Amino acid sequence: MPSISLTLNGRSVSGEVETKTLLVDYIRENQKLTGTHVGCDTSQCGSCVVHVDGKSVKSCTMLAVQVDGSEVTTIEGLATGEELHPMQEAFRQNHGLQCGFCTPGMVMSAVDLVAGNPDISETEIREGLEGNICRCTGYHNIVKSVQAGAKAMGG
Amino acid sequence: MPDTGTITSGGIGDAVQRKEDFRFLTGRGTYTDDINRMGQTYAVFVRSPHAHAKIRSVDTSAASQASGVVSILTGADMVADEVGSLICGWNVVDRHGEGHKAPPHPPLAHDTVKHVGDQVAVVIAETLSEAQAAAELVEVDYEVLAANVDTGSALSGPEIHPEAPSNLCYDWILGEEADVDKALANSAHVTELDIINNRLVPNPMEPRAAIGEYDMATGEYTCFSTSQNPHVLRLILCAFVLGIPETKLKVIAPDVGGGFGSKIFCYAEETTCVWASKKIGRPVKWTSTRSEAFLTDAHGRDHVSHVKLGLDANGKFTALKVETIANMGAYLSTFASSVPTYLYATLLAGQYTTPVIFCNTKAVFTNTVAVDAYRGAGRPEATFVVERIVETAARELGVDPAELRRKNFIQPDQFPYDTPVALTYDTGNYEASLDKAMGMIDYAGFPARRAKSEANGKKRGLGISAYIEACGIAPSAVVGSLGAGVGLWESAQVRFNATGSVSVFTGSHSHGQGHETAFAQLAATKLGIPFENVEVVHGDTSKVPMGMGTYGSRSLAVGGSAIDRACDKIIEKGKKVAAHLLEAAVEDIEFADGNFTVAGTDKSKAMEEIVFAAYVPHDYPEGVEPGMDETAFYDPGNFTYPAGTHIAEVEIDEATGVTEIVDWVAVDDFGNVINPMIVEGQVHGGIAQGVGQALLEGTVYDKDSGQLVTGSYMDYCMPRADDLPSFRVDMTTTACTHNPLGVKGCGEAGAIAAPAALINAITDATGAVTVEMPATPERVWRALQENN
Amino acid sequence: MQNFDYHKPNSVDEAVANMQASDDGKFLAGGMTMLPTMKQGLAAPEDLIDLHGIDGIAGVAEGADAIEIGAMTSHSVVASSALIQSDLPALAALAESIGDRQVRARGTLGGSISNNDPAADYPAALVALGATVKTNTREIPAEDFFVEMFETALAEDEIVTSVSFPLVEKAAYAKFPNPASRYAMVGVFVAKNADGVRVAVTGAGPSVFRASAMESALDGDFSSSALDGVAVSADDLNSDIHASPEYRAHLVGVMAKRAVDACG
């Protein structure tokens, strides 16, 4: 079994993984971080989105062995203690979530999407979130949340 | 204590931020698949690849030798253990007085399989991947039979159950056919329409999951499940399927990631996990993949109807006749039979004074997964029938569709209004919603907007949907007389702790609706205590009194009313304690804003003081029990009737047939509103699902093989952010007259209203009489070819 | 999904050696198709050879009248490359239309073309632009590279290292996405240079193809109206629940006109 070392939410972790272990399974099962969810098996729903080296990726479509040496951030690593990240706060303020299942992936995608674009337009947000499916909100308040989050995050 | 957000007040009517959001936003929610139990094993189901087949044999010998396999159980093992059939809890009596046909639905098939995905065996192993690998090794020998998947022709297709000749589950009627035929014959104009209500896959983002666990020491089972109604699941598992006393089964539905109806039902998988956990003496966990969800979650809709609407020379509706074939799938799911009958035909009056209505529903079995309640359940189908035929009549007669509706509305002074289809609407003001919606969309300005679109090579259309729904199915005596196997009340327990915080236990269940917030607002306002001091507890049968769960937009109207009643009991008891402490007569104690006051004096005690006295009863009235903990069961006197008008405006690209929604206005009357932020969110989500039905989501079974063609998101088109516009949402209010809160329910309205609004807009734009749902670009393009 | 031996070679030669040493090996580029295929059990290689560790096969470089893009360049890098945006903006726009943001972050040019999904976008660009596919052993003209559905001219142990896209006078890509999968239901890439016009169609048929009647019409008059009445036959086009062959044929015409219009 190969061994991997990575930085997960700012913490160095290492250990052996089976080659077939998907990144999402490594996060959920090996690291017991259950905020990253699995909502489909065709790489489309985006519930599993995490950041690898600063970019949003679908952790269901990467192998754990592929993040050896990388920095991985999951939803659990976004807030600072009990202080929410501006994007999380924007989702709360704007009712950008209902059942909460797609939310971790949606927030992680949103943080990556708006980086450096505080004035992102509604169209850019809607197109930029095509890899994240939400069944509850109709996206209306997600779009508002992302717009507010972008402003709060600044440039 | 996590930060719970900026709470300005938190009373009724405040758009207070949700208590649940901190944990969801930080990835600290606890969904069923996030739970792992000591010694847990993993279940993978062996499923039928055929739509219809006899099982000749199941050979588990190779699989049992595979690495990590703990046990492989088949239908034969269930038969040996006398595991019961999964049940349908609503017996619909047909036009001849006979109950519906409810053929056996074994949790693991042992004789025949009746749809692709039907469970044949379960492989339980130490790890999920070992269970998956071993499941591949189970060899099932099938004798493939002809498949029958098409709703419209199911009655003449291959027979699926010997108990249901011609695949007929029931042939049910509501209304007097002769009266309706006569009225149609005497009408100045009759509009006819064939209407298909397309089959949908609910697709909550969290796939179903279950863990069964058996404690040999206590003889107690625990079932963690993605359920919308844990007590109902417990009742069915205990009383009908597994024969366990209710004291020995605890059902816990923790955070649940959406349901939309599909998580109401008792399914084979949780049944199997609970049953197997005792057999193997270890917890058994199953989590659905999305592919399995497509094959096994109960689907929604799937009606084929022929509709006739009569009008007199003045444009008043004279009669409505609806003949519907409703697909039940291969087995009768938990509440399936009620959906195309009591939740459908009873809503065919819509917002109108149509004097006579007849509906005939033939429910049919097919080799498809079961069809049951999906967001709206029967009411979207009814609204689609009514609002499509009304729109079509207006176009045939060349009258303004808004005016035709207005002419036929039940007027505000006609309430309570008895419809010809068995309901009594308590209140409403349909014209107010229509007027507001027309104003918001600038109805008068539409021709100019259309001309502008035409100049840009686009076809523009506007569609109205004036919907009504019935929520909070009730009262229990009535639904019982109609065949329901359960009462449809709700429970609440309001427990003050000695130091003044309150736990509210509700029998309804939140899976996105924000009960933890809205119910806390309700209790805080009623009891005059801070919102922060209220915690809502739900989803655990061992903590919460027996309750009926969440579906049909019932939680606030029924569950909220139960909380209100329990709070009333707290206040009544508090008055006795206050009277003693304030040395006054109980009749003289008034309660307001959290204070008990002697009428006409400034003598007063705060709720917290009374509660403390109740738990430390050193100075306490004689004959009054200590403690401050009250339970109420609320059985509503009637349904509630949310109603409103949605208007969609679309632009269609003539070259491709692509429909763009350019504007959407929704004006809904939900009665009183506890949290407008949550209500608007419910409306947005409902509209999105309705838009999904109308534009994107089609479920296709191959007619020959019975295979599900749309078995993943690669082919089943889920609405994405860029498929939808922002919505303009507003409200009108007529308070419900028969529940203490004056509330009606908002969860399903969007899904009910939206499809007709959109198809009316698309047919307006294309000039087609009808465009089938989902109105894909090709269908719209063809409609344009045929009509221009 | 089954376990496999994971290899992360540092050079193309090492990757080829890994493949040659394996009875049943697969190269892993972005993994956007490979991993879902393995998850579904439709592929179960004994050896998975991850190309991410190889230097020199990712990135965008300016060549002589051409842009050379390394095989392991992600779609998002192509979409955001200043060079491509300025010299071959149609290709940047095409890359931006692939999948979703997360797929674009991982998916690669080389992976996409080596898979030759009939609904993939890149094949249309390669064929219309007359691109050259460079591998560890040879150079292959795009039209010879795409053989048929999910089949290319590549040998088992051959790795695409880069693709050279000639610069053209004008080019544009118009895509009609499948509403569910967002793959191309019909995608038409139009390119005009001194030699004439090339029109390549993806998504509509079993593999990318050139619409020669359209090319002839546009050679004479490079305007969308020149395509009036120039139809693509529906005979060999794909049919599924989302679109009939007739509708696909119609869309090829519409998308071709839009691409021509977008050329400006």
CA pair distance A130, B719, nearest whole angstrom: 9
* Whole-number pLDDT of residue B253: 98
The verdict on a CB contact (< 8 Å) between C241 and B655 is: no
Selected residues 4-33 of chain A with any CB under 8 Å from a CB in chain C:
18-20, 22
Q: Do C32 and C130 have their domain in common? A: no
Which chains have 3+ CB pairs within 8 A of A? B, C
Is A65 an interface residue toward C (CB < 8 Å)? yes
Q: Do C77 and C43 have their domain in common? A: no
* Whole-number pLDDT of residue B553: 85
CA pair distance B404, B402, nearest whole angstrom: 5
CA pair distance B355, B282, nearest whole angstrom: 61
The verdict on a CB contact (< 8 Å) between C176 and B656 is: yes
Q: Is residue C54 part of a domain?
A: no
Q: What angle do CA B307, B312, B314 make, to 5 degrees?
A: 125
CA pair distance B62, C152, nearest whole angstrom: 39
Sheet holding B502-506, edge to edge: B534-537, B502-506, B490-496, B629-634
A64: closest CA of chain B, how far (Å): 16
- Confidence band, pLDDT 50/70/90 cuts, at residue B314: very high
Q: Do C40 and C87 have their domain in common? A: no
Residue of chain C whose Cα is closest to the Cα of B131: C1
Residue B173, beta-bridge partner list: B360
Report the run of H or E that residue A153 belongs to, with start and end: helix A140-153
* Whole-number pLDDT of residue B2: 38
The Cβ of residue B754 has, within 10 Å, a number of other Cβ atoms equal to 35
Q: Name every chain A residue with its beta carbon within 8 A of the beta carbon of C41.
A: none
Give rounded-to-5 percent helix, strand, coil for chain A.
40, 15, 45
- Confidence band, pLDDT 50/70/90 cuts, at residue B6: very low
pLDDT over 50 at B309, yes or no: yes
Q: Counting Cβ atoms within 10 Å, is residue B159 exposed (0-12), middle (13-18) or buried (19+)?
A: middle
CA pair distance C262, C253, nearest whole angstrom: 14
Q: Name every chain C residue with its beta carbon within 8 A of the beta carbon of B137.
A: none
Selected residues 60-79 of chain A with any CB under 8 Å from a CB in chain B:
74-76, 78-79
Q: Do C28 and C112 have their domain in common? A: no
The verdict on a CB contact (< 8 Å) between B18 and A92 is: yes
Domain that holds residue C185: 60-263
B687: closest CA of chain C, how far (Å): 19
The verdict on a CB contact (< 8 Å) between B776 and C2 is: no
Q: Is residue C156 part of a domain?
A: yes
List the structure tokens of B159: 């027979």
Q: Is residue C55 part of a domain?
A: no
CA-CA-CA-CA torsion sign (B770, B775, B776, B780): positive
Mean pLDDT of B418-436: 97
pLDDT over 90 at C64, yes or no: no
Q: Do C32 and C77 have their domain in common? A: no
Residue of chain C whose Cα is closest to the Cα of A50: C102
Is C222 an interface residue toward B (CB < 8 Å)? no
Mean pLDDT of B762-774: 98
The verdict on a CB contact (< 8 Å) between C181 and B714 is: yes
Which is nearest to B691 in space by CA: B711, B663, B712? Answer: B663
Mean pLDDT of B541-547: 95
Domains and their CATH numbers in chain A: 3-76 (3.10.20.30), 86-153 (1.10.150.120)
Position B304, amino acid: V
CA pair distance B29, B20, nearest whole angstrom: 9
The Cβ of residue B137 has, within 10 Å, a number of other Cβ atoms equal to 18
CA pair distance B588, A139, nearest whole angstrom: 52
In chain C, how many domains are there? 2
How confident is the model over B455-474, as pLDDT tens digits?
A: 999 999 999 999 999 998 87
Query: Alpha-carbon Rg of chain B, whole angstroms?
Result: 27
* Mean model confidence pLDDT for chain B: 96
Q: Do C175 and C220 have their domain in common? A: yes
Size of interface A-C (CB pairs under 8 A): 71
* Whole-number pLDDT of residue B141: 98
Q: Do C72 and C195 have their domain in common? A: yes
How confident is the model over B208-230, as pLDDT tens digits?
A: 999 999 999 999 999 999 999 99
* Least CB–CB distance from A133: residue in B33, B513, B720: B720
CA pair distance B428, B417, nearest whole angstrom: 10
Q: Name every chain C residue with its beta carbon within 8 A of the beta carbon of B717.
A: 179-180
Which is nearest to B773 in space by CA: B750, B756, B749? Answer: B756
CA pair distance B210, B263, nearest whole angstrom: 11
How confident is the model over B258-288, as pLDDT tens digits?
A: 999 999 999 999 999 999 999 999 999 999 9
A contact test, residue of B4, B6, B26, B696 with most A CBs within 10 A:
B26
Q: Does ipTM exceed 0.95?
A: yes
Percentage of chain B lying above the pLDDT 70 cut: 99
The Cβ of residue B707 has, within 10 Å, a number of other Cβ atoms equal to 17
* Whole-number pLDDT of residue B651: 98
The verdict on a CB contact (< 8 Å) between A76 and B26 is: yes
Q: Do C67 and C143 have their domain in common? A: yes
Report the run of H or E that residue B193 belongs to, with start and end: strand B189-197
Q: Is residue C178 part of a domain?
A: yes
B417: closest CA of chain A, how far (Å): 34
Is C249 an interface residue toward B (CB < 8 Å)? no
Percentage of chain B lying above the pLDDT 90 cut: 95
pLDDT over 90 at B748, yes or no: yes
- Confidence band, pLDDT 50/70/90 cuts, at residue B485: confident
Is C44 an interface residue toward B (CB < 8 Å)? no
* Whole-number pLDDT of residue A155: 59
Domains and their CATH numbers in chain B: 401-471+640-787 (3.30.365.10), 489-634 (3.30.365.10)
pLDDT over 90 at B503, yes or no: yes
Q: Is residue C250 part of a domain?
A: yes
Q: Is residue C53 part of a domain?
A: no
Residue of chain A whose Cα is closest to the Cα of C97: A127
pLDDT over 90 at B477, yes or no: no
Q: Do C183 and C206 have their domain in common? A: yes
Q: pTM, whole model, 2 decimals?
A: 0.97
Q: Do C39 and C163 have their domain in common? A: no
C1: closest CA of chain A, how far (Å): 6
A contact test, residue of B21, B511, B691 with most A CBs within 10 A:
B21
* Whole-number pLDDT of residue B7: 38
Lowest mean pLDDT among B8-12, B35-39, B392-396, C231-235: B8-12
Percentage of chain C lying above the pLDDT 70 cut: 100
* Whole-number pLDDT of residue B487: 86
* Least CB–CB distance from B709: residue in C1, C2, C241: C241
Selected residues 135-194 of chain C with any CB under 8 Å from a CB in chain B:
176, 179-181
Task: Find the DSSP H helices in A1-139.
Answer: 23-25, 86-93, 103-114, 122-128
B717: closest CA of chain A, how far (Å): 11
C254: closest CA of chain B, how far (Å): 7
pLDDT over 80 at B427, yes or no: yes
How confident is the model over B608-653, as pLDDT tens digits?
A: 999 999 999 999 999 999 999 999 999 999 999 999 999 999 999 9
Considering all CA atoms of chain C, what is the largest pairwise distance in Å, rounded to the nearest integer?
Answer: 57
Mean pLDDT of B328-349: 97
Q: Name every chain C residue with its beta carbon within 8 A of the beta carbon of A63.
A: 6, 31, 35
SS (H, E, C) B197-258: ECCECCCCCCCCEEEEEEECCCCEEEEEECCCCHHHHHHHHHHHHHCCCHHHEEEECCECCC
* Whole-number pLDDT of residue A131: 98
* Whole-number pLDDT of residue B552: 85
How confident is the model over B86-131, as pLDDT tens digits?
A: 999 999 999 999 999 999 999 999 999 999 999 999 999 999 999 9
CA pair distance B530, B521, nearest whole angstrom: 9
Q: Do C120 and C212 have their domain in common? A: yes
